[in-house]
Amino acid sequence: MLISAFTAKSPIAAASLEMHEFNIGLLVVAASALLLGLLSTPLKRIGLPDSVTLLLVGAALGPTGWALLDPAQWGNEMAILEQVARLALAIGLMGIALRLPKRYIFNHWRSLSVLLLVSMPVMWLCSSLLTGWLLGLPLGAALLIGAVVTPTDPVVASTLVTGPVAKENLPAYLRHIISSESGANDGLTFIFVMLAVFLLTLPADQSITTRILGVLGGDILVALVLGAVIGYSVGFAMRKAEQKNTIDQPSMLMVTTALALTTLAAVKLVGSNGILAVFVAGVAFDLQANASEKQEEERVVEGVDRFFTSPIFLLLGLMIPWQAWLSLGWQAIVLVFGVLLLRRLPILLLIGGRIRELPTQLDGSFTGWFGPIGVAALYYAALAYHKTDVTELWPVVSLLVVASILVHGLTAMPFSHLYRRVRDAKKPS
């Protein structure tokens, strides 16, 4: 009480208190990243992903835990969440683009297109129907929440497709299709989110068709073109700089991180979809990179990726709306199980064995189960939060994200081992 009265009368004291909170937050993020780095091998061995650890740390330090950190004191929580998630996604998507084999998107575009065009609408509609039915929400609000949780998350998925455990248990074709799908659908989800936003906010005298065409042309197409131009140009420039010996090795290793952030900012400034553009830029850059450059850049980006993603999971833990979750009632529990089990798994079971990159139903079932909801959903939730008045948006999305991080994060390793055992058992002796 005394502190509140003091800070209310003293802007300097209030600013000092905010800086104190900021420094505590900075200490927690840096110390967490440091410990996770030093203990990375034993944590991977026991199957405890960074996302789960950081989420629990954030929840413990937040307002309903030890109350050491309160994001509400830093400013607009959702605005902060949007920017932190945007940066984490950009770095994560660049990492995916570099992990994929050269020209993977071009060589596998048919199967990837089928996967995206079939699975994404199904995931959107399934999540929307479950949300509307169980929580009694209007159509527009249900469609918005369903759209926000549609994308599979590249940051959480990286725990599955990277590292020695993944390479030991999962075939390369499965890791690549999971990575490429999560990279592509993060940007394309923007269409579904904006469609739902238009349904909720469109004036009666405007055509939704016109608005959707504007999104397709002004956001998606522009993002594709700008991302490709920026990525290819930077890759070409780096190749020439290497040939002329105007770039040293340390500078080469920072190029892709700088490329991700440059693309994100530049495309955002022109009012287009920076998330999709970053992934496209990474793919285009990769066309110019040689094998040694690609390997070195991939290692650097993976390290930077882990550091950049630390704040988003900590922030989520700090922002968990416990009371709002409780107010959703028992229907929220049913919704979690329904979305995690039905949003993606049935359609991938049907696809499994029918496209080249998922040659067996085992591949389809594994890919269908492992479609985590994570950073992309947080980004789109924060983006839509400022455009609509759907009060259930943050409680429902945050619940589904936290549930997915815990369930998918903790099952990644055991299910990978299970996949290998089942596959080996089916091989002819």
Distance from C-alpha of 328 to C-alpha of 381, rounded to nearest angstrom: 18
Would you say residue 316 lies in a domain?
yes
133 has a pLDDT exceeding 90: yes
User: What is the distance between the alpha carbons of residues 40 and 350, in angstroms, rounded to a whole number?
Assistant: 37
One-letter amino acid for residue 277 of the chain: A
**Predicted pLDDT at 2:** 32
Single pTM value for the model: 0.89
Q: Which amino acid is at 225?
A: V
Q: Which of 29, 186, 171 is nearest to 95 (CA)?
A: 186
User: Is 20 part of any domain?
Assistant: no
User: Binning pLDDT at 50, 70 and 90, where does residue 418 land?
Assistant: very high
Q: At what angle do helices 77-99 and 274-286 cross, to 10 degrees?
A: 20
Highest mean pLDDT among 33-42, 251-260, 351-360: 351-360
Q: Is residue 57 part of a domain?
A: yes
What per-residue confidence (pLDDT) applies to 183?
87
Owning domain of residue 85: 39-426
- Mean pLDDT score of the chain: 83
Q: Is residue 90 one of the residues assigned to a domain?
A: yes
Domain total in the chain: 1
User: How do residues 37-51 score in pLDDT, each as one tens digit?
Assistant: 677 677 666 667 888
Whether residue 33 is contained in a domain is answered as no
Residue 3 lies in a domain: no
pLDDT (tens digit, 9 = 90+) per residue, 50-71?
A: 888 889 988 998 888 888 888 8
Check residue 320 and give its pLDDT. 95
DSSP string, 408-424: HHHHHHHHHHHHHHHHH
> What is the Cα–Cα distance from 144 to 393, expressed in whole angstroms?
8
The model's pLDDT over 69-118, given as tens digits with 9 standing for 90+, comes to 888 887 788 988 998 899 888 888 888 888 888 888 988 888 899 889 99
Residue 21 lies in a domain: no
In this prediction, residue 10 has a pLDDT band, given cuts at 50, 70 and 90, of low
Confidence of residue 3 (pLDDT cuts 50, 70, 90): very low
| Predicted pLDDT of residue 166 | 77
Residue 205 confidence (pLDDT): 62
27 in a structural domain: no
Q: Residue 185 has which token pair?
A: 């659908």
How far is 256 from 301, CA to CA, in rounded Å?
7
CATH at 252: 1.20.1530.20
